[in-house]
Structures are given as structure tokens and as C-alpha cells.
Amino acid sequence: MIRIKELRQKKGINQAELAKVFGVSQQTISSYEKGIREPDIETLNNLSDFFNVSLDYLLGKTNIPDTVETLALSRKDGYEDDLPEEAKKEIENFKEFIKQKYGRNK
């Protein structure tokens, strides 16, 4: 089940406000939330970006809402500072792999 309602409520906006952002009717948003209608892939991508969650989370395939970018940007604790250069390179390679795997390499 698509988590539009949950994310919309968490963001503190109503259906009409979300509809205005996406240029659709409030009824369309309601239909998405009730599972009567499904958004196309472009709309899913836009919703994912708008709510700053992964597509997998939006679609209910995972309970981890963070996108790869959010996870990478949140790591500000300097844990990589003590690693050898080879390990740092491996971490960067893995980040790129994950971005490509989930189609978020923009």
C-alpha cells in the first residue's frame, strides 16, 4: 500500500494542499490514498522526492524511509577520518553502487 496519507499527515498538509503541489485534484489524492487509483511512475518519483523518502518506503516495501542521499549526508561524525585511504575508497564505491541500484544517481 502506498504511504501517501501517512507521509502527507506527517508533513502537516491536507489533501487539497498536496493536490495543488502536484497539479491534480483533491479527489485524485484521495483515490491514491484509498487505493482506488495508483499514481504513474513519474508521480511516484515526484512524491518520493517531495516527501524525501525512498520509492521502496513510499510503496511500503521497506520500513526505512531514508533515501541514500539522506543517509550519506547524515554521516557527519567523522567515522571515516580514522580509516585508511583504501577503506575510504571502498565506502565511496559502495555509495555509488547503492545510488545506481536504486536509481538515485542524479
Is the pLDDT assigned to residue 78 strictly greater than 80? Answer: no
Q: Taking the CA of residue 101 as centre, how many other CA atoms within 13 Å lie in the half-sphere pointing to its CB? A: 10
Task: Tell me if 40 sits within 8 A of 64, measured CB to CB.
Answer: no
User: Average pLDDT, stretch 73-79?
Assistant: 52
| Three cell numbers, residue 89 | 575508497
What is the C-alpha to C-alpha distance for residues 15 and 73, in angstroms, rounded to an integer? 30
Tell me, yes or no, if the pTM score tops 0.85: no
Q: Please report which confidence band the pLDDT of residue 106 belongs to, taking 50, 70 and 90 as the band edges.
A: very low
Q: Please report which confidence band the pLDDT of residue 29 belongs to, taking 50, 70 and 90 as the band edges.
A: very high
